Chain A
Amino acid sequence: MRERERDAEQGDARNRTSLLKKMEISVAEAEKRTGKNAVNMQETYTVYLIETRPVDAASEGTNPVPDSLWRRYSEFEQLRNYLLVTYPFLVVPPLPEKRAEFVWHKLSADNMDPDFVERRRVGLENFLLRVASHPDLSTDKIFYSFLTEENGWKETVFETGFQAKADSRLKALNATFRVKNPDKRFAEMKHYGDELQSVISQLLRVRARAADRLYGVYKVHGNYGRVFSEWSAIEKEMGDGLQSAGHHMDAYAASVDDILEEEEHYADQLKEYLFYADALRAVCRKHELTQYELEMAAQDLTSKKQQREELATGTIRTFSLKGMTSKLFGQETPEQREAKLKMLETQIEEGEELVKERNGECEEFVKSAWVDIERFKEQKDHDLREALISYAIMQISMCKKGIQVWNNAKECFSKM
């Protein structure tokens, strides 16, 4: 806890982190493997090569061979689940999507498709870099061994008991409960998370449909190429001009593939924040849960204190069945009352301890979470702005290509 506070106080932690200063991390390759799965059936899956290299070695110019190990997507998932459970107050970076969504028709939705695998490789690398550059997450031992220990990592992570916690966390996050004094900031953050998720989903959908149509427009121009070529065969003076114009039409039609591939990268950047929104919402939910538990403990304590008071003074301020029955069937013996009081006192003591504990937890949570949320906000604003800028740059590049092709075509037409 102390360590985290210190790191947080060090300010802009995005680039000044302990782990990335020491080592370079990359997900260099992807390969197909076949093996037997948990139910002893043959399956094909992809593994990704994680390479790590000490930073100092590279800067000295010696360039040694990096350490490397292979991991599959499910292991990344385990790592992330562990992190979610261990650092519930942090906005944990998301993994690239499990299945291809928001695809436009030319893009494959098949997990084995090489383009999908390649984009996933990039996404996984991005995930590791995000974790490694996080002031708190980067110091985690399990994360470190994920990067460096090929064998035995699975057992190590299992021993932390995160799996059980992960299950109960999921249950808790999905439970419905009402908080009496919600923290306004967290409520707003949660609402923002919802909106972000909704609007990015919509944007991705619309973008995919537009990409589909754009593909059609460009590809139909390829037909000009074919027909101009055939037409040029029957013309004398016009032939050359038509033929060469046709070539440019073919080039135009072909150019859309690169254009849309670049746009896919932009879509991936949006998707990362779509999933980040989910992580943000999880933190807010966790806060609600913590707050709720505190409120429950406090409520319980208050009711116990009341009971004690009633017992001590003999007055019944609140209706209770016990009270009624004792009225109806006669008072208890002084010994019984004494025993009861003593029990209540113990419970109240414990209750006060619990409330204090939970209060402390809550405060801690709010403090740490809010620091991370601020960090996240800054990162998001920066990253998404960059994404918009790179989108504009892509559009400009597309326009430039268009200008070139049509100017060339115009020249050919002039020679007709």
Chain B
Amino acid sequence: MSGSVVDNTVSSGNSSAAIPTDISGQILDLDEDDDLEVFSKDTTLTDGSSLNASMQTSSASMINQYKFEEEEEDADTKDIFVTVDNPESHVTAIETYITYRVETKTTRSEFDSSEFEVRRRYQDFLWLKGRLEEAHPTLIVHPLPEKFVMKGMVERFNEDFIETRRSALHKFLNKIAEHPIFSSSEDFKIFLTAGSGELTSHKKQGPGFLSRMGETVKAVAAAVRGVRSRPQEFTDMQEYVEAFSQKISSIDKVTQRIVREQKEYLEELKECGPTYALWSQSEEELAEPLKNVAGCVDKCCKETDEQVKHLNDHLIPVLHEYVLCADTLKAVLRRRDNIQADFEAKTEALATKKADRDADSKVLSLAWGSLVGRSPEEVKQQKQQKLKGEIKEMRDELDKTEDRLEWANNALKSDWTRWQKGMRTDLRSAFIDTAERNVSYYEKCLAVWESFLQSQRTDAEGNGNVDFS
């Protein structure tokens, strides 16, 4: 988020990435000369009770407290409610697309009103995600549903697809709303409240194509360079993400396979009931129990059908989200690495420059000096002056990059903990939900067959000839 920043020398060539000025706590250990000023300490710290919390100051009205003790309070003090529903299809000359109704209810003071209703299309969500990622490269943005599903050649306008997408978009916005930093994003606010014209013009602002290109080039260069001394905790994170990604993908695949097998089982089971019914037509005494069994089998079919639907509509989307999350995490770690690589590169460059300054380059400067008619002393002075200037610039740049890295690391660490907590909650409740549903499925089938037994018992008591041992 690029709000106005206090006490910072902003170099205009920088990207729209937030540039923090205050360091809370951790100071990166740099092999530095003591005579050089390292940090500009800014005391616009908000309640920095958590050492690891990274702060980002922007305009006065939007200071965020990034504490985790407040997480529990969030549930009670939730002050923004977002709903995504009511998909509608729009046809223009060029294209057909779907819009969704986004309704917001909030008591937050920064909103002009307490209720908003807008219509948004998938592209708009993509834009929002992009903005948030740009503003906070090492924060974890919840994934959006994919552009389109290749598997099974799902049509974009298929009812199930639209519903699945709507549900995922709803979750996405709610995750954003719950996030301590994202929910105060100006872009988020505009997304929720602006009319379509206002949104379009707002979208046009922000970093142009070229500066974004510049950032990409830098990123690629950094990526190629690689990180030299990644802190262990981030390496641990990387290993975890790799493993998690594999596991969650496996679970996703297993679940999809289960759904497939269940559907095929259902297909076969659907033929059993009618066969019993057919049989009952040839029988006299047996007609009643056979018809009864046919009915039971049909009821179980219905229950199986609903159980499969539930898996499809509840467990699979959650697993899918976390498969996408794993990719997001990988990207976040990569971006953090790039920032560090950038910092390391700049550090090296500065050291080289200093070495230049300290080195005796008599021969060259003297030679040059005599050519332009200056005394060796003069030349040396000029050279030193020039170097001093360059070093100062690089120093400042390095400071900024160091701040940036510090902030990125802290942001990631905090958000990481937050994400893990969320993941645990989400997956736990999804699995519990599935287990409960399975129990309910078996309970219903049990009741069906027990009522059959009951009916045979009462018959038998009438005829007095059946043994139920």
Contact = CB atoms under 8 A, between A and B. Distances in A.
Interface of A: 192, 195-196, 199-200, 202-203, 206-207, 209-210, 212-214, 216-217, 220-221, 223-224, 227-228, 230-231, 233-234, 237-238, 241, 245, 380-382, 384-386, 388-389, 391-393, 395-396, 399-400, 402-403, 406-407, 409-410, 413-414, 416
Contacts of A207: 272
A192 B275 contact: no
B293 to A, nearest CB: 5
Contact of A392 (B439, B453, B467): B453
A396 B453 contact: yes
B432 A381 contact: no
Contact of B442 (A380, A403, A414): A403
12 contacts: A213-B267, A237-B424, A238-B424, A381-B284, A384-B286, A385-B285, A388-B290, A389-B456, A399-B443, A399-B445, A400-B446, A410-B439
A402 B440 CA distance: 10
A227 B466 contact: no
A380 B290 CA distance: 13
A389 B453 contact: yes
Nearest to B437: A406
Given A195-B282, A203-B279, A396-B453, A386 B466 contact: yes
Given A192-B282, A386-B466, A414-B428, A210 B269 contact: yes
Nearest to A218: B261
Interface residues of B, number: 56
A416 B424 contact: yes
Query: Secondary structure of the B side of the interface?
Result: helix
Interface in B255-310: 257-258, 261-262, 264-265, 267-269, 271-272, 275-276, 278-279, 282-286, 289-290, 293, 296, 300
A220 B258 contact: yes
B38 interface: no
The 6 closest A-B pairs by CB, nearest first: A213-B265, A410-B435, A402-B442, A399-B446, A210-B268, A231-B247
A195 B244 CA distance: 58
A23 to B, nearest CB: 23
Summarize A's interface: helix, strand, loop or mixed: helix
Given A203-B275, A224-B254, A399-B443, A413 B289 contact: no
Contacts of A231: 243-244, 247-248, 251
B243 A227 contact: no
Contacts of B275: 199, 202-203, 206
Given A210-B265, A409-B435, A413-B435, A385 B445 contact: no
A382 B240 CA distance: 63
Nearest to B423: A238
A213 B247 contact: no
A299 to B, nearest CB: 35
B446 A385 contact: no
A216 B261 contact: yes
B278 to A, nearest CB: 6
B358 interface: no
B446 A389 contact: no
B138 to A, nearest CB: 21
B285 A381 contact: yes
Contact of B282 (A199, A223, A388, A403): A199
Contacts of B244: 231, 234
Nearest to B292: A388
Given A217-B265, A238-B424, A392-B453, A196 B250 contact: no
A120 to B, nearest CB: 26
A416 B265 contact: no
B125 interface: no
Nearest to A248: B435
Contact of B293 (A209, A210, A391, A393): A391
A206 B272 contact: yes
A245 B431 contact: yes
Contacts of A413: 428, 431-432, 435
B151 to A, nearest CB: 18
B465 A382 contact: yes
Contacts of A216: 261, 264-265
B436 interface: yes
Contacts of B453: 389, 392-393, 396
A385 B276 CA distance: 13
Nearest to B450: A396
Nearest to A225: B254
B68 interface: no
Interface string B291-331: 00100100010000000000000000000000000000000
